[in-house]
Amino acid sequence: MAGATRHEELIAWQLADQIRIRVFDLTNRDGFARDLKLRSQTEDAANSVCRNIAEGFSCKHVEFARFLKISRRSLNELRDAFRGAQLKRYVTASDYAPIETLSRRLYRAFSRLIEYLETTPDPPRTNRTARTKRTYRTNCTDRTSRTND
């Protein structure tokens, strides 16, 4: 089976996106929506889970695994934000239950994908990924290595 060619094809990103959709549904509720700081932090954490998966996708395996670990930390932050929302009575445990279920699945997906990335070599570059007139960064932490000719 061929690997994913876009980050949207990854189960981890799909789960994270489902969480993000549910988060936005809950943060739009009256009490939650009026608490601008908590709403912003909660939505930022949900977005960060997805964005770190997307950003790391084009990196080498070790770097992608690092981005997935950052994404997992954002998921931890999101879960804690919802604990605060429950204490403030913006959401109930049953409101949050679908997100918690998806989160558990996402943690397992992160673990499996990180293990795979850390134990397998990077695939060889193909003509499709090796552009002739453009040099792409090989290390995602080095933003200055990308040049356009």
Q: Is the whole model's pTM more than 0.95, yes or no? A: no
Name the phi and psi angles at 91, rounded to 5: -140, 155
d(CA 9, CA 4): 6
Q: How confident is the model over 18-43, as pLDDT tens digits? A: 999 999 999 999 999 999 999 999 99
pLDDT tens digits for range 68-107: 999 999 999 999 999 999 999 999 999 999 999 999 999 9
Span 110-122, average pLDDT: 95
- Whether the pLDDT of residue 138 is over 60: the answer is no
**Sign of the Cα pseudo-torsion (104, 105, 106, 108, in order):** positive
SS3 category, 148: strand
Least confident of 4-18, 54-68, 112-126: 112-126
Domain boundaries, the chain: 8-122
Residue 127 has pLDDT above 70, yes or no: no
Looking at residue 125, its pLDDT comes to 72
Is the confidence at residue 129, as pLDDT, over 70? no
Choosing among 1.10.10.1590, 1.20.1440.60, 3.40.630.10, 3.40.50.300, the CATH entry for 8-122 is 1.20.1440.60
